Structure 1
Amino acid sequence: MVEGKAVVVTGAGGGIGRAIALAMAQHGARVVVNDIGAAVDGAGRDAGPAQQVVDEIRALGGHAVANTDNVADAASATRIIGCALDSFGRIDAVVNNAGILRDRFFHKMSVDEWDSVIKVHLYGSYHVSRAAAVFFKEQGSGAMVHMTSTSGLIGNFGQANYAAAKLGIAALSKSIALDMLKFNVRSNCIAPFAWSRMIGSIPTDTEEQRVRVDKIRQMTPAKIAPLAVYLISDAAREVNGQIFSVRNNEISLISQPRPLRSIHRSEGWTPQAIAEHAMPALRASFFALDRSADVFSWDPV
């Protein structure tokens, strides 16, 4: 479905990114496998993981090159796109998958823990997309797939940095879809449920946490890859600005914020009137303080 396309997959040295890179190559794409080879918290550098995935792809008869530039830096992200141009002569799609975790309850979160996660996830998605956008505009085509998360779309404990970045990515994707529609460029999001090194870092101190992690452990990264391949293919030409989740064999279309209920007062509102009339009328539609696991409460098969 993606025969001959040149695709950048960031964070592709393992987990979901590796599965997507392998699937892209299997379906005919030429792949830039980007990964700096860092630990889950972003520490360290190792060219090995990216090259190992490239070796896997080549062993199967596919075309791939390794890249170890850092998505969190604008100049470095530009080099990632340059790698595709130098290696394959074009760039057709980017999959913004690179990410790190530095989980901490909000009142304990440091500035560095906030900054580092925002820079890799949100800035990284921006930098790589922005570098590719110039070429997409010139050629009149292109596709972007960004990884969001229900931690941001719904909520979760101890992940203010990650959740803010992931919800920001959903808004970034929608803005790209709107701004670049006239250039035939599409932008969509996937909220993946799959076992990865990042998921593996979730604490399992309580029985509830252990049960949750055990369920996710059963969802393999390979389940995410088919949707990513589809979204960059020409078959998805009418799919733009959407958010999907994948849980094992289940694909969901995720809602986007819209007005739920309104109340009008012709003479305007005072704080007292809001307390006495507006809030009681709206309260029935309030959202509970749900977490992702509360909303996705059933086991996918």
Structure 2
Amino acid sequence: MSNDSPILDFKGRVAIVTGAGGGLGRQHALALAARGAKVVVNDLGGTVNGTGGSPVAAQAVVDEIKAAGGEAIANGASVTDFAAVQAMVAQAVEAFGRVDILVNNAGILRDKSFAKMELEDFRSVVDVHLMGAVHCTKAVWALMNEQKYGRIVMTTSSSGLYGNFGQSNYGAAKLALVGLMQTLSIEGAKNDIRVNCLAPTAATRMTEDLFPKEMLEAFRPEAVVPAMLVLAGQDAPNRTILCAGAGTFEAAHITLTEGRYIGIGDQVPEALAARLAEVTDRTGEQVPQSGAAQGSNEVAKGMAAARR
């Protein structure tokens, strides 16, 4: 580390980490507390597929933090219950005075191929990952706007960004979180609320069966935590999708190709089919700063064609 590297210090900051009773969430909570944050350790205490509930896991992490000299409180709210999430935020404010950081980490898995998946299993996964993050973010949003500071980390996934067999429900929910981040990062910018996504690759109880045994150590959850700390820090970027696993860090982008003006008319479908390779050519692609970039590109090309 160079002498001019920024120090990720969280003293005076208050963080809520959901799904923090084990795995990646536990590591997030421990790391934030070790660097000075006061932490609300939220965990329903359910199984990997979202059933059941127990306060034991969250309290065990709180005890761990306190034993190391940190400050933390436990919360057992289900992120699918907005009233319970609002009460969690109120609990955080009562105990610590504010909320600076929200790490939306809670999640469940109900993997099956789409052909065999029950709609309830699709709905439940979306409810926890997407609506759970919406509930928690909505519950802190006014508070962060009022204090003119906030750092929100959504947990997306390579399954959402790029697909994965048997995870249509999980992938849909995870990419939806990117869409949520894209707009909230724009809306929150004026009050220094920075919203980013973390795409972790880690061997937790949700994913450990996916890794070869010799790779389990490299993909331990601790290796992902540095990316979370950067995204939750005072000097965090805004609107970044940071990927992390086994000591490697990447950034993912949703890009827009330059495209081609093909026109309007009865023969355009055939023309588009014939020139599709040109339309999808990634040479000169951009990362738009908002959805308006697509329309702007189309208007510019249409006007250029009209002038010819």
4, 14, 32: which one aligns with 2:12:
4
Give the corresponding residue for 1:16: 24
1:2–1:229 Cα contact (<8 Å) kept: no
Among 256, 267, 275, which residue is 1:278 paired with?
275
1:43-62 aligned at under 5 Å gives the runs 43-62=51-70
Shift of 1:217: 5.3
Deviation at 1:184, TM superposition (A): 1.1
Gaps of 5+ in 1: 203-209, 286-301
CA contact (8 A) 1:37 1:47 kept: yes
Aligned to 2:256: 259
Gap change, CA 1:266 and 1:37, over 3 Å in 2: closer
Alpha-carbon distance between aligned partners in 2 of 1:264 and 1:234, rounded to the nearest angstrom: 43
Q: Does structure 2 conserve the Cα–Cα contact (< 8 Å) formed by 1:2 and 1:232?
A: no
In the TM superposition, what whole-angstrom CA distance separates every residue of 1:229-277 from its partner, at most 9, and x where no partner exists?
A: 22222132xx101000011111111122x222522234644333333x2
CA distance in 2, matches of 1:280, 1:252: 27
1:139 aligns to what? 147
Distance 1:128 1:262, change over 3 A: same
The yes-or-no answer on 1:74 pairing with 2:90 is: no
Q: Which of 32, 35, 43 is 2:43 aligned to?
A: 35
Paired amino acid for 1:62: G
Q: Quick one: distance in 2 between partners of 1:244 and 1:67?
A: 28
Count how many residue pairs are aligned between Structure 1 and Structure 2. Answer: 273
RMSD: 1.7
**Measured at CA, do residues 270 and 17 of structure 1 come closer, stay the same or move farther in structure 2, by a change above 3 Å?**
same
By how many angstroms is 1:201 displaced? 5.3
Find the aligned partners of 2:214 and 2:106 in 1 and give their Cα distance. 23
1:235 matched to 2:243? The reply is no
Partner of 2:198: 190
Equivalent position amino acid for 1:92 in 2: D
Unaligned runs of 5+ in 2: 1-8, 283-308
Distance 1:216 1:106, change over 3 A: farther
Query: Which residue, 111, 116, 121 being the options, matches 2:119?
Result: 111
Looking at structure 2, the residues matched to 19 and 127 of structure 1 have their Cα atoms a distance apart, in angstroms, of 23
Give secondary structure in 1 for the equivalent of 2:51: coil
The answer to whether 1:160 aligns with 2:168 is: yes
Q: Percent identity?
A: 39
Q: What is residue 221 of structure 1 aligned with on the other side?
A: 221
8 A contact 1:194–1:217 mirrored in 2: no
Given that 1:80 and 1:128 are in contact with CA atoms closer than 8 Å, whether structure 2 keeps it comes out as: no
User: What is the CA distance between 1:226 and its match in structure 2?
Assistant: 2.1
Residue number in structure 1 paired with 2:5? none
Matched, 1:120 2:117: no
Quote how far apart the aligned CAs of 1:282 are.
4.2
The answer to whether the 8 Å contact 1:70/1:77 transfers is yes
Partner of 1:129: 137
Match of 1:149 among 157, 166, 174: 157
Query: Is the alpha carbon distance of 1:266 and 1:145 closer, same or farther for their aligned partners in structure 2, counting shifts above 3 Å?
Result: closer
Whole-Å Cα distance in 1 between the matches of residues 281 and 151 of structure 2? 40
- In 2, the alpha carbon distance for the partners of 1:176 and 1:147 equals 14
1:223 Cα offset (Å): 1.3
| CA contact 1:16–1:196 (8 Å) conserved in 2 | yes
